[in-house]
């Protein structure tokens, strides 16, 4: 096996899953293009790939494929060429990679799970891959509770000794499969065509047994955005510049961006870290932030409070409403005086005045709650009451 390997110029991005755990954020918008600080999520992945010399990305799509293509198009807005391999039925993580076969050239390629936010040094991953000379190299990251991930143990030479997918029981920190790989094209030959096949269960254990799978450990920023809590936290991390992104560059040393077209009434307070997008309007006496994103054209009424929250485009928040630890998907609205703590409102939800929703409640799209219809006080997030 040769140690002389080329740097990958191509990538497969897996974006065909239904994103069920992130509903109702993903009820109508596929997870890969769900807005994260006003950008389609996968734009952050494309930025990182382009930064490390990748020229072509192939999106492996299935669920809501057209919606992804409508947002990302040919990739010209993101500095690389994007094409699409669409599945009629979900093929699993390996089947989905094999489905891109005709669009890949015969060099090594990166694979990215389409829900991973990371500024991992891809060039260092590729250099490790080239130096070790295996068929695949996995980016590994340490996590405290690894039970919903694939656990990886390494030998001293960096080869993967064992691969354990989603163990029921585990105590303590462990290295997990971070959902980013470099693979040699020969790996495609191990994948049966046209049927469900998992890379984590069907390919990696075999490569590991053959001594041809290596790990690259990176202690930098990593998070998957697959649940409402982690989606919210990803926003906070970008606002706090814990991960290197173009949005962080815009926020700068003040950790603050207020678009020139936003209207902030004198007397309203914008508390960093905070991002206020184009055409957003903030009423007198309102407070936005810390850790808040106000989407394009969103309206916050006078005296309202928005703290540690994601308010997507076009959302309307009534006067003196209080929103904390919550996600309001585009087109939803909240009436005067309503309090939200740890709530997720789906697209088009209308929550009338005088309600109180808390404790991780998810309200599905287009639900209408009349004025004064719900008083839910439980605080699962452990924050002080609002």
Under rule CB under 6 A, residue 8 binds ligand GTP = no
Q: Tell me if residue 261 falls in helix, strand or coil.
A: coil
Interface residue with ligand GTP, options 46, 91, 243, 340 (CB under 6 A): 91
The set of residues, in sequence order, having a beta carbon less than 8 Å from that of 25 and lying 6+ positions away, is 31, 34, 228, 231, 327, 329, 344, 346
What is the C-alpha to C-alpha distance for residues 350 and 99, in angstroms, rounded to an integer? 41
- Report whether 91 contacts 188 (CB < 8 A): no
By CB under 6 A, tell whether 158 contacts ligand GTP: no
Render 121-142 in DSSP notation, one character per residue: -HHHHHHHHHHH--SEEEEEEE
Q: Which is nearer to ligand GTP, 65 or 125 (CB)?
A: 65
Pick from 47, 115, 184, 237 the residue near ligand GTP by CB under 6 A: 115
Distance CA 207, CA 192 (A): 15
Site for ligand GTP contains 225 (CB under 6 A): no
Based on the shown chain and the rule CB under 6 A, indicate whether residue 114 belongs to the binding site for ligand GTP: yes
Q: Min. distance of Cβ 42 from ligand GTP in angstroms?
A: 9
Residue 228 interacts with ligand GTP (CB under 6 A): yes or no: no
CB atoms within 10 A of CB 44: 25
21 binds ligand GTP (CB under 6 A): yes
Alpha-carbon gap, residue 64 to 28, rounded angstroms? 9
Q: Closer to ligand GTP by CB, 181 or 257: give it.
A: 181
- By CB under 6 A, is residue 261 in contact with ligand GTP? no
121 makes contact with ligand GTP (CB under 6 A) = no
40 binds ligand GTP (CB under 6 A): no
Q: Between residues 90 and 279, which has the closer beta carbon with respect to ligand GTP?
A: 90
Q: Determine the Cα–Cα distance for residues 15 and 45; give it in Å rounded to an integer.
A: 12
Is residue 62 close enough to count as binding ligand GTP by CB under 6 A? yes
Which residue's beta carbon is nearest to the bound ligand GTP? 17
The site for ligand GTP, by CB under 6 A, has a size of: 22
Residue 78: other Cβ atoms inside 10 A: 21
Q: Summarize as ranges the residues that interact with ligand GTP (CB under 6 A).
A: 14-22, 31, 60, 62, 87, 90-93, 96, 113-115, 226
């Amino acid at each position: 096996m040769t140690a002389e390997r080329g740097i990958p110029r191509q990538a497969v991005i897996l974006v065909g899953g239904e994103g069920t755990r992130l509903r109702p954020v993903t009820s109508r918008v596929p997870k890969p293009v769900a807005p994260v600080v006003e950008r389609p999520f996968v734009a952050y992945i494309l930025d990182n790939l382009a930064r490390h010399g990748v020229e072509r990305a192939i999106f492996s799509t299935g669920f809501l494929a057209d919606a992804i293509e409508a947002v990302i198009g040919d990739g010209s807005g993101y500095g690389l060429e994007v094409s699409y391999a669409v599945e009629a039925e979900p093929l699993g993580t390996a089947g989905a990679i094999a489905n891109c076969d005709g669009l890949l050239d015969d060099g090594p390629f990166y694979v990215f799970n389409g829900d991973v936010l990371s500024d991992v040094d891809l060039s260092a991953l590729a250099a490790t891959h080239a130096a070790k000379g295996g068929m695949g190299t996995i980016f590994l990251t340490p996590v405290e509770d690894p039970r919903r991930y694939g656990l990886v143990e390494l030998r001293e030479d960096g080869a993967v000794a064992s691969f354990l997918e989603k163990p029921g029981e585990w105590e303590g920190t462990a290295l997990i499969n971070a959902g980013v790989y470099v693979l040699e094209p020969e790996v495609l030959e191990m994948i049966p065509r046209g049927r469900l096949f998992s890379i984590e269960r069907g390919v990696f254990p075999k490569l590991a047994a053959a001594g041809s799978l290596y790990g690259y450990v990176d202690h930098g920023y990593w998070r998957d955005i697959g649940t409402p809590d982690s989606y919210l936290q990803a926003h906070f991390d970008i606002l706090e510049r814990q991960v290197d992104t173009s949005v962080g560059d815009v926020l700068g040393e003040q950790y603050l961006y207020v678009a020139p077209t936003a209207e902030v009434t004198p007397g309203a307070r914008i508390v960093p870290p905070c991002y206020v997008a184009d055409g957003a309007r903030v009423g007198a006496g309102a407070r936005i932030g810390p850790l808040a994103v106000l989407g394009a054209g969103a309206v916050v009424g006078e005296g309202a409070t928005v703290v540690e929250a994601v308010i997507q485009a076009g959302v309307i928040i009534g006067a003196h409403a209080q929103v904390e630890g919550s996600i309001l998907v585009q087109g939803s609205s909240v009436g005067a005086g309503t309090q939200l703590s740890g709530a997720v409102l789906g697209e088009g939800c209308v929550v009338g005045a005088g309600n109180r929703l808390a404790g991780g409640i998810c309200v599905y799209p287009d639900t209408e709650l009349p004025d004064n219809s719900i008083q839910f006080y439980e605080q699962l997030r452990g924050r002080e009451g609002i």
